[in-house]
Each structure stands twice: as structure tokens, then as C-alpha cells.
Structure 1
Amino acid sequence: MIDTHTHLYSEEFKTDQHEMIQRAIAAGVLKMMMPAIDSNYIAPMLQLQQQYPQHCFAMAGLHPCYVKENVADELLKVQTMLQQKNVVAIGETGLDFYWDTTFKAAQYQSLQQHIEWAINFKLPLILHTRNATQETIDVITAHKHPDLKGIFHCFGGSVEEAQQIIDLGFLLGIGGVLTYKNAGLDVVLKEIDMVHIVLETDAPYLAPVPKRGKRNESAYLPFVAQKLADIKEIDINDVINITTNNAEKLFKV
């Protein structure tokens, strides 16, 4: 399996980071994609990639919730990382209007810069959206390009939104929310072909049932895979094979 979105470098893994990674590998999660947050996390993320070059893969980006007054400096650091380091994707970027809209305009500007990088470097774009799914879709639509592909991470929208995303050539990142009783994502995914889906944990957040409420980790990805298999009424091995193939093609790993 491939965990397409996991913050392995998070402070929440400080006491057992390496054991946590070994648990993931033992659970069959052999590749873990690490989205960026801001420049404070670049060094620990790259250190993990260096320690586990076959398993941990870094991205370059600025999370929309970390778009602040210093956005120009942060974007410059992302650009430097893109030019100097080996990364598999651009992100996570996007729009988040849930917590704070003080820097709403700057979030749009940051997203547009990430889109340009994704096209220029021919790297997948990893998108975070909260209270802004349609707005993010609209931005991607306005910048539609043959080389612009990626993932709408932690997708939780409607069938109509899913279809718009698919039409843009993007994949749906599905994680622990799928296992939550009242999320409604199971109904949506019944209508979506498996070729448009990849798996993720977003660890340490959004742990799946039966681990809900606890710190999430990549080793819990099989719970998401099993739930998706149940919804689609197919074998879990088919879920693993298809989603892994989808991720390998996107990230070229």
C-alpha cells in the first residue's frame, strides 16, 4: 500500500517515530508520501527521506493554514527546495476558510504559485480544501493544463464535486473519514470508479475506526482499505492493487 498523505515528521511522533514507521512497513504500507507544512518542517522531513529512501518521500509546499504575513519568504523557501531537493510532489497547498480568513487573498495567491510550479516542474499537486472545495475546484479549472494533475486530499464532498475533480484529471484522497458512521462518504464513493481513488491517513490526524480518537499513523491504512473494499463489494487486495497503481502512476515511484 501507499499512504499518499502522512505527516511522519510531526511532533506527535517525536517519541516513537522510527517504531511508527516500522509498524507501517510491517502492515504493508511500503511507501509514505510526506506533504509539507511550512519551512519549520523542511529539515525533519528531509531527514526522514534520507533515513528511509525506499519508504519516505518528501514534498515541497506551504499549507494554506500557514499562509501568514511572511508568505513571500515562505514561498521563496519552497522554490529553493524545489530547485535543490528531490521531491515527488508540490503541496500541500489549497484553500482553508474554516479556521481563519484573514489571509484569504494570500491563500489564493499561494495556491496559484503552487499551480505554476506543478506545471513547470511537471509534479503532482496535492490540494487541501476545507470549507472551500468548490472554490479550489474553480481555481484549478481556471488553470487547467495537460501537466496539471494531483490529489484532492481528504476528499469529503459530493458526487458532483467528485466528478468535477475527476474531469480535471485529479484523484480523490480517501482516509479515515470514510470509516466514520455519519460522514456520508460511503454513499458518494459507491458512484466513483476505483481508478480515481488513492488511500491516505493524514496522520497524526483523523484516525479511522476502530482507532478513532487516537493518534493516527500510517500503519492504520489497512482499516481504510478494508472499509473501501466493503463499500465497493470487492476484495481488499483489489483495493490495494488498484489504489497503489494509481499512486505509483501519479508520483512516478
Structure 2
Amino acid sequence: MLVDTHTHLNAPEFDEDRDDVIQRALDAGVERMVVIGFDVDTSRMAIELASRYEGIFAVVGIHPCYVQDAQEEHLGDIERLLSHPKVVGVGETGIDLHWDKSTYRLQDRFFRRHIELGRRFNLPVIVHDREAHDEVLSILDTEQASDMSVVLHCFTGDLAMAKQAITAGYFLGFGGIVTFKNSNLGDVVAGVPADHLLIETDAPYLAPAPFRGHRNEPAYVVKTAEAIAQIRGLSLNELAQITTQNAQRVFKHL
């Protein structure tokens, strides 16, 4: 069994064939999928999908690129969603300095509020980090997040950052970038302790080779798993067992 620990099946790119996409994932051995919210509406949709499919679970939150359109009351909406039995995490949250640095203070505030919610509800926090490695680790440190479950999703840092994150007890999610010819993640993937390793798609984004440039989907997490298994000298079954056990440690009800 494989687990796609980070997918956006609630994105409009799947509106025409969502059920078929889910069936292809199941046929490929991806028996668990964690659907991540961008905002209140997509968080609700993640819960709706989780309610319909046994193997789908929801994470609810407000993405850092969406905070400029969010109100304080939306955090209250997210908090109320956290009590749903198929909600297994908070996020995605974090810092994104690629698109709009002007919202940094707002991103910082929402990030800290998500961490607070994760602690209060005893749920993992799923962290988005784009061109903000130092900022993300600093905020996690000041919020003492090492005493809770944290996933640095779509990890793109170097080995030194990975070791720093692992020392704090965080999990690292690796996606399709690992399969790219120009990827610098080989040393990181090889050097991460097995018990901190997760696999994901971030679908519909960042499709792995040989699907790069096309819409990503959960079935393609197999390609990422194969690449990581090769880097680490493991069989696909061994890698699947390791990453599934890790996912079940992070997301308690998978």
C-alpha cells in the first residue's frame, strides 16, 4: 500500500474526472490519500471527499498564498472543521515568499495560528515553504513546534536543513521533484532517516517524470516512490512499507 500524503483533489483541475482519478490511484495501489485545503471552501470540499471515500482523509487550513483574502473569522471556520472525524491535520500553512513578499506579516500570523490549532487539537501541521526556509524554521522554533507533529511538505531544502528539521522531530514530504533530472534532492533523500520520510504528489502540481508538464494525480506517487527506492537501494515494496508506516504515525487514523 502507498499513501499520497499531500494531494489537492479538491482543485478545479479535477472537476471533470475526479472519481476516475481516485479510481486510478486505487488501482495503482495508492489506498490512502490526504486531501489538503487551500482555504475554507476547499477545506470543506476535502471533508466532503473524505466522507465519500473510505481511503481519503482531509487536512483543513488556509494556504499562505490565500491569506490576503482571508478574514479572522475564517480561522474560526477552520477551527470548527477540525472536529470532523476524518480531519487528520491542519494546513496547509506556512510561508511563501516567491509570489508576494508584501503579505509576509499576515502569513506569519496565520502560520502561528495554525500551529496553535494543531497543538490544541493534537493534530499534525502541514507546512508550505517556498523560498522561506529560514523563516519557516524560525517560526516553528519560536512556537516550540518540536513537541508536536510537523510535516515540511514538498521539501526542497538542502541536507543541512533536512538534518535541522529532523533534529526537531519533523517529517519531510518528497514529491515529483525527486524524479527531475536537474533535481538536487538526491543527497537529501539518501541522507534522511527512514522514519522521517513521506511521499506525496501535491497533485495537480509538480507531476513526476515521465509526466512532467502534465496534470499530476495521486496514482503518480508510484513514480516518486520508485525514484526514492532506487536512491536508497530499496525495493518498491520496502519503500512503500516504510513510508506508509510513517504516514500512519503522522496521521493517526489512516
Common topology (TM > 0.5) = yes
Using the size of structure 2 for normalisation, the TM-score is: 0.95
Letter in 2 for 1:115: I
Q: Write the distance in 2 (CA, Å) between the matches of 1:83 and 1:214.
A: 36
| 2-structure distance, mates of 1:66, 1:41 | 11
Give the aligned residue type for 1:141.
D
Tell me the SS of whatever aligns to 1:37: coil
Structure 1 residue ranges without an equivalent (≥5)? none
C-alpha distance in structure 1 between counterparts of 2:162 and 2:146, whole Å: 19
Give, as a single letter, the amino acid of the residue that structure 2 aligns with 1:150: V
SS of equivalent to 2:101: coil
Residue by residue over 1:139-182, the C-alpha shift from the partner in whole angstroms, topping out at 9 and shown as x without a partner, is 11112256411210000111110011111111100010000111
1:36 aligns with 2:37: yes
1:242 aligned onto 2:248: no
Residue aligning to 1:70:
70
Partner SS for 2:128: strand
Q: Check 1:190–1:74 CA distance in 2 against 1; reply closer, same or farther (3 A cut).
A: same
Moved more, 101-110 or 171-180: 101-110
What are structure 2's unaligned runs of at least 5 residues? Answer: none
**For the residues of structure 2 that align with 1:77 and 1:166, how far apart are their CA atoms?**
32
Using the TM superposition, give the Cα deviation of residue 42 of structure 1 relative to its aligned residue in structure 2, in angstroms.
3.0
- Counting only pairs closer than 5 Å after superposition, residues 83-94 of structure 1 correspond to structure 2 as 83=83, 86-94=86-94
Give the residue type in structure 2 aligned to 1:2: V
TM-fit CA distance, 1:83: 4.0
- 1:182 partner SS: coil
Q: How many residues are matched?
A: 252
More divergent stretch after superposition (136-145 vs 29-38): 136-145
Cα gap change, 1:86 to 1:28, in 2 (>3 Å):
closer
Give the corresponding residue for 1:20: 21
Equivalent residue number for residue 186 of structure 2: 186
1:5–1:32 contact (8 Å) kept in structure 2: yes
Amino acid at match of 2:242: I
Whether the aligned pair in 2 keeps the contact of 1:61 and 1:78 (CA below 8 Å) is yes
Distance 2:205 2:71 in 1: 25
**1:127-146 deviation per Cα after TM superposition (whole angstroms, max 9, x unaligned):** 00001012101111112256
For 1:98, give the aligned amino acid: H
Residue 36 (structure 1) shift: 1.0
Amino acid at match of 1:222: V
Counterpart for residue 168 of structure 2: 168
Give matches, 1:193-204, under 5 Å: 193-204=193-204
The TM-score, its normalising length taken from structure 1, stands at: 0.96
Q: SS of the counterpart of 1:206? A: coil
Aligned pairs (5 A) from 1:32-181: 32-52=33-53, 54-83=54-83, 86-145=86-145, 147-181=147-181
* SS state at 2:161 partner: helix
**In 1: Cα distance, 2:120 partner to 2:77 partner:** 17
What is the distance in 2 between the residues matched to 1:58 and 1:32?
9
Tell me if the contact between 1:6 and 1:204 (Cα under 8 Å) persists in the aligned partners.
Answer: yes
Q: Does the aligned pair in 1 maintain the 2:151–2:173 contact within 8 Å?
A: yes
* Alignment root-mean-square deviation, CA: 1.3
CA distance in 1: counterparts of 2:218 and 2:124, whole angstroms: 21
CA–CA distance in structure 2, aligned partners of residues 6 and 83 of structure 1: 21
> Residue 225 of structure 1 corresponds to which residue in structure 2?
225
